[in-house]
Structure 1
Amino acid sequence: MFSNKLLKLAGIFLTLYVLAMNVALAESMDRATLEKQATLALGGYDATTYFNLSGAKQGNDAFQAVYHGKRYLFTSEENQQKFANNPTQYLPQFGGLCAHSLVMEKEVSANPAIYTLQQGKLYMFVSEEARTQWSQDTSKNLIAANKHWMFESEKRHEQIAAKKRWKTNNTVKLFSF
């Protein structure tokens, strides 16, 4: 009887030990490894420098942040902190897609080195030509790009909601004739 209790107690301690070791192992994973697993955003450009008079500059690995699964690099700790305080202020419009391609109802990844600032917002483009075409009628193009972006966003939201409904309502109903 005493040996059964001792075995149960030893089993509990062994389980707790294994659990504690797993937690310690997870915590000891190198921070840099975790950061590098996130997708590099903006081609490594410092998101805050787009808003400086000197223009966009490449960040470096010494100053990083992970936001919504993307890894951002910064040129300084000060810029890293600016981003941390208000990341949405520095993010490009349309998720970094080419603003002009959205006018044509296409979703094309932008080149982070080709951009413009309008009313405190960052817009990126796939090419200099796209930026020039965008600039010819900015207000009309902005309306068209926003319309396509909102349509696609709503479609994505509906797809996500449908998947969630399917997961929760996915039950088997038996019947017979």
Structure 2
Amino acid sequence: MFDNRLKSSLIAALLALPLPAFAQDWALSGYDPVAYVTQEKAVSGRAEIVTNWRGREYHFASEANRALFEANPRAYTPGFDGLCVVALTEGRSEPGDPRQFVTIGQRVYFVGSANRKQELLSHPRDMLMKAKDMWLKIKP
């Protein structure tokens, strides 16, 4: 049985630990949403350059990118809220990997792996139509 001082010390120690990445509500795992569009690559955002949109915290590599996002967030957020397009076509809701993305038209889409990226690129129009059908059934 723990005494009260030991319990208090244990609780204080646990509260002092940083939250794991999955417990933080960082959109796109901290990657800069604007960089996907402007630089065509996944770029880590900086913790001190942040904005909140629709209940999620977005990080940016620069103040200029944050300003672009704040002016038009929908232009920079990934399609299907970042879910894997290929998984959606298979009837599943799985998060995409923010390092594995495809730009189709002017929209960025995430997939779960390099193989799934190739699969999406082989039939982009058909896969996006199937993914959209599933998305309309499950979206919040």
Indicate the residue corresponding to 1:44 in structure 2.
Answer: 30
1:67 paired with 2:60, answer no
Number of residue pairs matched by the alignment = 118
Give the 3 Å change call, closer, same or farther, for CA 132–54 of structure 1 in structure 2: closer
Query: Of the two structures, which has the highest relative contact order with CA contacts closer than 8 Å and spacing of 6 or more?
Result: 2
TM-score by structure 2 length? 0.80
Once residues 119 and 54 of structure 2 are traced to their aligned partners in structure 1, the CA distance between those partners, rounded to angstroms, is: 31
State the AA in 2 paired with 1:150. L
Once residues 47 and 63 of structure 2 are traced to their aligned partners in structure 1, the CA distance between those partners, rounded to angstroms, is: 11
Give the conservation status (yes or no) of the 8 Å contact 1:38–1:66.
no
Once residues 152 and 62 of structure 1 are traced to their aligned partners in structure 2, the CA distance between those partners, rounded to angstroms, is: 34
Aligned-residue sequence identity (percent) comes to: 25
Which structure would you say has the larger Rg?
1
Once residues 38 and 71 of structure 2 are traced to their aligned partners in structure 1, the CA distance between those partners, rounded to angstroms, is: 17
- Following superposition, which runs of at least 4 residues in structure 1 exceed 6 angstroms of deviation? none
Identify the range of structure 1 (118-127 vs 53-62) with the bigger mean alpha-carbon deviation.
53-62
Unaligned runs of 5+ in 1: 1-36, 157-177
Three-state SS of the structure 2 residue aligned to 1:66 is strand
1:103 paired with 2:89, answer yes
1:53 paired with 2:53, answer no
Indicate the residue corresponding to 1:128 in structure 2.
Answer: 114
Of 89, 99, 102 in structure 2, the residue corresponding to residue 116 of structure 1 is 102
Indicate the residue corresponding to 2:69 in structure 1.
Answer: 83
State the AA in 2 paired with 1:115. F
Unaligned runs of 5+ in 2: 1-22
Indicate the residue corresponding to 1:9 in structure 2.
Answer: none
